[in-house]
Structure 1
């Protein structure tokens, strides 16, 4: 749990992030309405998230399915217009719960996961918009489909499984400049006819906006260090 002082700072930090997004959009000659702030609330308790909700933030990202399932139902009851994104890796045995809990899933990276989401979505008569996570740095330890395998996965998701793939997502390597990875994701989306880009976190969301991000995932700049 974060400290009381950090929680008290959340509305001010959130407003500062919003101002930075607006300034970055102006610099890039983009409409700020094109950029969605995904407030990353992973590891924070429900009471820590409330200040952001009370400040009007409605899009949140969580990394773990079970953690989100335990803390968000009560928050949703009080704030029913929340949009919850899964931004962490998904195991196929958690797919059914993920379909129940989340409004969007940003981390499809293989056919097995896509098939599980499609199966449970059909059973529940729902259609969850999804993103495909791309491993732009070709890091063996990191989730995400390879650049080379992305077209095939996208085709399978859309045409074989009937999923709505509305975007691509990436997490650049921590030890390399981020801009080439953001630019690569932008080119892939453009060439494959994908409209949305989830890229950029607390340390680099301004660069991501400059390079076309439609969703930026910001946690520590709002909630403080975990």
Structure 2
């Protein structure tokens, strides 16, 4: 990686952190309440290395094998990195997620929860999981309906190797701030309802580059930012 690329990632991270702080302060929240998840999918380990050098230690991956390879590459690093799986999860890939990742954001059916619970190694801490909600009811998106959250949550809470931490959503693309805020507010209310049966649910994973301010205003605790940190992606190189 060239020095200019290295400096770009460092500067981009600083810019994103400043935007998070500004959005949080605007709605009376502390910036420390919002975790920045750097989405490193399709990006090489060298780009992750530069983000680490700039103080970023939480990373999101959409593709299982690519994520596993990066986790292995950075194993043993101090301070330890936290790896989040944020892509759709197929049954045949659940073992790799259970054995390697710290978090899974895309739990949307009982079968996957059962597999992750059974496949999580006994020597690892429970897998931190989020239930994905299809908040915009898009046929092309994974996730469950809001009215189905409580049932799946109760099932997951009975699994000893999973720790239900909250909810995740990827709303339909929307440029109007007020409409973004309305959708994200539905997720905030859903988390509050979940907390009535699952007090440890403290995480709302929502907000990306184009809708982060509205997500933070609605109560997001974790924003997933990729392009604004690492630059445009080349999907032709996807594994």
2:167 aligns with 168
1:185 paired to 2:187: yes
Structure 1: distance between partners of 2:33 and 2:87: 23
Structure 2: distance between partners of 1:26 and 1:155: 35
How do residues 69-218 of structure 1 correspond to structure 2 at under 5 angstroms? Answer: 69-121=68-120, 126-159=125-158, 161-162=159-160, 163-175=162-174, 177-193=179-195, 194-218=201-225
Distance 1:225 1:3, change over 3 A: farther
Using the size of structure 2 for normalisation, the TM-score is 0.88
Structure 1: distance between partners of 2:182 and 2:115: 32
Structure 1: distance between partners of 2:34 and 2:104: 18
Q: How far off its partner does 1:45 sit?
A: 0.5
Q: How far off its partner does 1:80 sit?
A: 4.9
Cα RMSD over matched residues?
1.8
How do residues 37-56 of structure 1 correspond to structure 2 at under 5 angstroms? Answer: 37-56=36-55
Structure 2: distance between partners of 1:9 and 1:134: 34
Structure 1: distance between partners of 2:15 and 2:123: 39
Q: 8 Å contact 1:53–1:79 — kept in the other structure?
A: no
Unpaired segments ≥5 residues, structure 1: none
Unpaired segments ≥5 residues, structure 2: 196-200, 234-239
Once the two structures are superposed, what CA deviation does each residue of 1:103-145 show, in whole Å capped at 9, x if it has no partner?
1111100001101111112655541111000000111111001
Using the size of structure 1 for normalisation, the TM-score is 0.92
227, 231, 234: which one pairs with 1:224? Answer: 231
Distance 1:210 1:142, change over 3 A: same
SS at match of 2:38: strand
